[in-house]
Structure 1
């Protein structure tokens, strides 16, 4: 009981920080939300997001963040590749917002293949330089500040936050189905996704 009492604050701290880093609206969350509403490949998308976060958290706690700090050119390459991908995806979302035929969530509507969905979520996750700064460097540094005996507990808390968030976002999005039975709702969502993606892409280009 004493061990559990001592471990809980560290787990809670990791959970809280992990949640605060991933809840903010971004390209990855916007994609998970859209696919959740459409009920397309939700399980693999949620699993990829959660597992990717777990790997990044593990790398941060293991000390790989110091390697990233010493080789900033890697982040520069990721930044430009990520910006190009986000801008391209944003333009596609903008086109969807102005193309009524691709907006309906019906068997006859335009659907992403499993392969395309997986490649998209992998790109949105791993081509985002901020994930290396936030999850690897920031979270890893804070986890290691808890010492060798508790840093992994902190990491477990952060991983749990990721699993909970993406599960709620992906599978909970279907509750919005009735709202998105109307075409105008999809126009608004895709327009919001387009603005988010384009803004993030341009920001990556302009802000190092």
Structure 2
């Protein structure tokens, strides 16, 4: 259960900072009917989980074959997570959205794929965060961890639709700023855990 909760919190901290995926879902929630917004959330969730699985299992298998590579990824990943967390703590958030129409299903699929798989920052961050964390997990617990990450993706994107459909008028830029800061602190905590595992190795 602890491993699942680690995956859940890691997934939420990874998704919550304002980025292309979130803005796409938010824009749709603000401008399109509920059915379109829910479909968008489902499509983005699917692509996000597929990217998480690719980052987690792909790099994890490579890392598992080399102790030296494990150490390099743990140390490098930990240091980069510190940088990412620090940037989130210092970030300024622009919550303005630009969508003015409801996209078709094909547009939603193509945009969902683009903002996920063609987003270099998401691919790099996912590989470093999930791939590095993979090598620190006990044997047999990887599936439980990535399951938590997948559940976090579903909760987050469908939650965004719910929030922005019901109470978006109450959400101020300062609230988004504190979301980023909270996520930055969580990511810094995971960075320290990775560096501790590296030190113990």
Shorter-normalised TM range: 0.5 to 0.7
Determine the structure 1 residue equivalent to 2:149.
Answer: 158
Cα distance, 1:117 vs. partner?
2.4
Cα distance, 1:111 vs. partner?
3.3
Q: Where does structure 1 differ by over 6 angstroms across 4 or more consecutive aligned residues?
A: none
Determine the structure 1 residue equivalent to 2:57.
Answer: 62
Bigger Rg, structure 1 or 2:
1
Determine the structure 2 residue equivalent to 1:204.
Answer: none
| Matched position secondary structure for 1:63 | helix
The superposition leaves residues 160-204 of structure 1 with CA deviations (integer Å, 9 ceiling, x where unpaired) of: 111100010023211146x49xxxxxxxx9xxxxxxxxxxxxxxx
Determine the structure 2 residue equivalent to 1:10.
Answer: 3
Work out the CA distance in 1 between the residues paired with 2:129 and 2:52.
10
| Matched position secondary structure for 2:139 | coil
Cα distance, 1:149 vs. partner?
0.3
Q: Is the 1:61–1:144 Cα contact (8 Å) retained in structure 2?
A: no
Work out the CA distance in 1 between the residues paired with 2:116 and 2:48.
9
Say how many residue pairs are matched.
Answer: 137
Work out the CA distance in 2 between the residues paired with 1:53 and 1:46.
10
TM-score computed with the length of structure 2 as normaliser: 0.59
Determine the structure 1 residue equivalent to 2:44.
Answer: 49
**Any stretches of 5+ residues in structure 1 without a counterpart?**
1-7, 68-91, 97-102, 104-109, 181-188, 190-208
